[in-house]
């Protein structure tokens, strides 16, 4: 089945890996901004964004995959100041902001997250919002509280890496939930349970594959498992078209 992996870090994968993903059916992906060490300069992130937009889309094409860039300040890589990063995010040609969000809910993280959300709201930019592994429920609640405080449009937010525990509060409030299938995140059988309970409309699939060891075929494998149990048209929604619609991509 043709698949759209809505959250990867393509820089962490070789061209051979990307080609293998494409051969398995992953024909489109969003590559999210993340810098593996805390940047010393805000310009580091600006060059990272340029790299994602120009070079990663080029590598994707060579591999037979359309790669679209999301740009933003991940809570684990906040530079000492970020006004120029916000300016770049506003002017650069990205399909989304991401990944942004909260990790440890420090004052600095909240300020940076709110700044990016306000900008996204102003320019109608879809956002990929990271939720952490630790204290996932509490931090997800905090994220939802911030989204509501800002009056952030539900249609512009993917709350990503939901768990069996957090999925309900996310979809009940009208946001899209990102189902990240990986050994330490969601398992395919948990995705089966989730769609059995909540349907196919409010979800996108992704692998978050990139810098760390991970299953780069997770989205295809999950789509195949779902296709054996459910209507293929429904599976196609979470494997492809929901994401395309959310990011405003015609492919």
Residues in touch with Zn ion (CB under 5 A) = 208
Nearer to Zn ion, 56 or 208 (CB): 208
Q: Which is nearer to Zn ion, 236 or 243 (by Cβ)?
A: 243
CB-based closest residue to Zn ion: 208
Nearer to Zn ion, 37 or 233 (CB): 37
Residues whose CB falls within 8 Å of the CB of residue 144, separated by 6 or more in sequence, listed in order? 159, 169, 170, 173, 175
Shortest separation between residue 158's beta carbon and Zn ion, angstroms:
12
- Closest distance between Zn ion and the C-beta of residue 125, in Å? 18
Are 30 and 68 in contact, with CB atoms under 8 Å apart?
Answer: yes
The minimum distance between CB 130 and Zn ion, in angstroms, equals 6
Q: Residue 59: which of 22, 91, 97 has the closest Cα? A: 22
Which residues does residue 180 pair with via DSSP β-bridges, in sequence order?
206
Q: Which long-range contacts (CB under 8 A, 24 or more apart) does 188-195 make?
A: 188/218, 188/221, 188/222, 188/225, 189/225, 190/164, 191/222, 191/225, 191/226, 192/225, 192/226, 192/229, 193/164, 194/164, 194/167, 195/226, 195/230, 195/234, 195/238
User: In the bound complex, what is the minimum distance in angstroms from residue 11's beta carbon to Zn ion?
Assistant: 11
Q: Which is nearer to Zn ion, 206 or 235 (CB)?
A: 206
By beta-carbon proximity to Zn ion, the closer residue of 11 and 208 is: 208
Please report how close the Cβ of residue 208 comes to Zn ion at its closest, in angstroms.
Answer: 4
């Amino acid at each position: 089945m043709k698949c759209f992996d809505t959250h990867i870090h393509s820089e962490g994968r070789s061209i051979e890996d990307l080609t293998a993903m494409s051969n398995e059916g992953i024909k489109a992906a969003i590559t999210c901004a993340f810098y593996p060490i805390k940047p010393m300069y805000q310009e580091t992130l600006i060059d990272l964004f340029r790299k994602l937009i120009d070079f990663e889309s080029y590598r994707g094409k060579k591999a037979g995959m359309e790669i679209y860039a999301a740009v933003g300040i991940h809570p684990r890589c906040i530079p000492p100041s970020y006004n120029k990063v916000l300016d770049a995010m506003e002017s650069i040609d990205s399909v989304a902001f991401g990944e942004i969000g909260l990790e440890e809910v420090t004052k600095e993280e909240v300020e940076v997250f709110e700044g990016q959300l306000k900008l996204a709201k102003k320019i109608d930019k879809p956002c990929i919002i990271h939720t952490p592994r630790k204290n996932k429920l509490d931090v997800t609640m905090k994220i939802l509280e911030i989204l509501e405080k800002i009056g952030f449009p539900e249609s512009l937010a993917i709350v990503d890496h939901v768990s069996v525990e957090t999925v309900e509060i996310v979809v009940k409030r009208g946001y899209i939930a990102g189902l990240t299938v990986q050994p330490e995140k969601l398992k395919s059988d948990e995705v089966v349970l989730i769609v059995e309970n909540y349907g196919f409309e409010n979800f996108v699939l992704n692998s978050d594959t990139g810098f760390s060891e991970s299953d780069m075929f997770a989205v295809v494998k999950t789509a195949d498992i779902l296709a054996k149990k459910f209507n293929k048209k429904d599976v196609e929604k979470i494997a492809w078209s929901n994401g395309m619609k959310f990011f405003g991509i015609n492919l």
